[in-house]
Structure 1
Amino acid sequence: MMASSSALVAGEIQSKEIPEWWISMTIHTEEQGTSDSSIYKLQRVPTTLREIEKNKGCYDPIVVSIGPFHHRLPKLQPVEKLKTTIAQKFISGRDTRKFYYNFTEVCLNARGCYAESSTEALEDKEFVRMMFLDGCFLLHFIDCTVKGRLQDMKMKDDQIAFVLRDLFLLENQLPFLVLQELMKFRFTEGKQLILKFIGRLAGTNSSSQEYHQPPHLLHLLWYEYVGAIPPPRMWTFKQKDEHFFHPFRSIQDLRAAGIMCKKSTTSCLRSISFVSHCIHGELLLPAILVDQSTKTMFLNLVAYEASPDASSDFAITSYICLLESLIAKPDDVKELRSRNIIFNFLGNDQEVADVFHDLATNLVPNPSQYREAKLLIEKHCRRKMNCVPVMFYKLYKSFRGQWTLFVYITTLLVIVIFIIQTYFVIFPIKS
Structure 2
Amino acid sequence: MTYVDEDIQSRRRKLHRVPVQLRQDLKHIYEPAVVPLGPYHNRQHPQLHLVEPLKNELCDIVCGDDKRKQVLVINIFKRIGEICYFYGGTTGYGYMDLAAMMLLDACFLICYMQEGETQTLIRQRLGMSGVLFMNRDVFMLENQIPLWLISFIHPDHQSLLCQYLSNNVYGGIKLTQLPWGDGRGEEPIHLLEAVHRTTFILHETPENPSNFLRLIKKCNHPSTGKEVSSRTHWQMMNNNTPYWSSVNDLKAKGVRFRRSSNCLTDIKFLSFAWYAELHLPFFYITYNSKVFFSNAIAFEMSPETNTNLLLCLTFIQTYFTINPTN
Give TM-score, length-normalised by structure 2.
Answer: 0.77
Question: Given the alignment of the two structures, is residue 192 of structure 1 paired with residue 153 of structure 2, yes or no?
Answer: no
Q: Could you say which residue in structure 2 is the equivalent of 1:261?
A: 257
Q: Could you say which residue in structure 2 is the equivalent of 1:276?
A: 271
Q: Is the 8 A contact 1:46 1:303 kept in 2?
A: yes
Question: What SS does the aligned partner of 1:75 have?
Answer: coil
Question: What SS does the aligned partner of 2:105 have?
Answer: helix
1:92 is aligned with what amino acid? G
Question: Given the alignment of the two structures, is residue 152 of structure 1 paired with residue 146 of structure 2, yes or no?
Answer: no
Percent identical residues: 24
Question: What SS does the aligned partner of 1:137 have?
Answer: helix
Structure 1 residues 108 and 196: CA distance shift in structure 2, 3 A: same
Q: Is the 8 A contact 2:15 2:87 kept in 1?
A: yes
Alpha-carbon distance in 2 for matches of 1:38, 1:99: 23
Q: Could you say which residue in structure 2 is the equivalent of 1:105?
A: 78
Q: Could you say which residue in structure 1 is the equivalent of 2:98?
A: 127
Shift of 1:75: 0.5
Q: Could you say which residue in structure 2 is the equivalent of 1:426?
A: none
Question: What SS does the aligned partner of 1:283 have?
Answer: strand
Question: Given the alignment of the two structures, is residue 41 of structure 1 paired with residue 41 of structure 2, yes or no?
Answer: no
Q: Is the 8 A contact 2:293 2:316 kept in 1?
A: no
Q: Is the 8 A contact 2:102 2:145 kept in 1?
A: yes
Shift of 1:111: 2.0
Structure 1 residue ranges without an equivalent (≥5): 1-32, 328-352, 359-431
Question: What SS does the aligned partner of 1:293 have?
Answer: helix
1:160 is aligned with what amino acid? V
Q: Deviations over 1:331-374 (max 9, x none)?
A: xxxxxxxxxxxxxxxxxxxxxx116x86xxxxxxxxxxxxxxxx
Alpha-carbon distance in 1 for matches of 2:230, 2:82: 51
Number of residue pairs matched? 288
1:142 is aligned with what amino acid? M
2:79 is aligned with what amino acid? V
1:227 is aligned with what amino acid? I
Q: Is the 8 A contact 2:256 2:277 kept in 1?
A: yes
Q: Could you say which residue in structure 2 is the equivalent of 1:298?
A: 293
User: Of the candidates 40, 45, 58, which is equivalent to residue 86 of structure 1?
Assistant: 58
Question: Given the alignment of the two structures, is residue 310 of structure 1 paired with residue 305 of structure 2, yes or no?
Answer: yes
Larger mean CA deviation between 97-106 and 155-164 belongs to 97-106
Structure 1 residues 302 and 72: CA distance shift in structure 2, 3 A: same
Larger mean CA deviation between 168-177 and 286-295 belongs to 286-295
Q: Deviations over 1:16-56 (max 9, x none)?
A: xxxxxxxxxxxxxxxxx9995663210211222212x5x55
Q: Deviations over 1:67-99 (max 9, x none)?
A: 111011331312112212222333334742544
2:176 is aligned with what amino acid? S
User: Of the candidates 286, 289, 294, which is equivalent to residue 281 of structure 2?
Assistant: 286
Shift of 1:114: 1.7
Alpha-carbon distance in 2 for matches of 1:56, 1:278: 52
2:20 is aligned with what amino acid? T
Alpha-carbon distance in 1 for matches of 2:139, 2:30: 9
Shift of 1:322: 6.4
Alpha-carbon distance in 2 for matches of 1:257, 1:271: 22
Shift of 1:269: 2.4
Alpha-carbon distance in 2 for matches of 1:181, 1:190: 9
* Greater relative CO (CA pairs within 8 A, separation 6+): 2
Question: What SS does the aligned partner of 1:152 have?
Answer: helix
Question: What SS does the aligned partner of 2:30 have?
Answer: coil
| CA-based RMSD | 3.1
Shift of 1:131: 0.6
Give TM-score, length-normalised by structure 1.
Answer: 0.59
Max Rg structure: 1
Shift of 1:317: 2.3
Question: Given the alignment of the two structures, is residue 180 of structure 1 paired with residue 147 of structure 2, yes or no?
Answer: no
Q: Deviations over 1:154-185 (max 9, x none)?
A: 321221222121111111101012222111xx
Structure 1 residues 164 and 107: CA distance shift in structure 2, 3 A: farther
Question: What SS does the aligned partner of 1:290 have?
Answer: coil
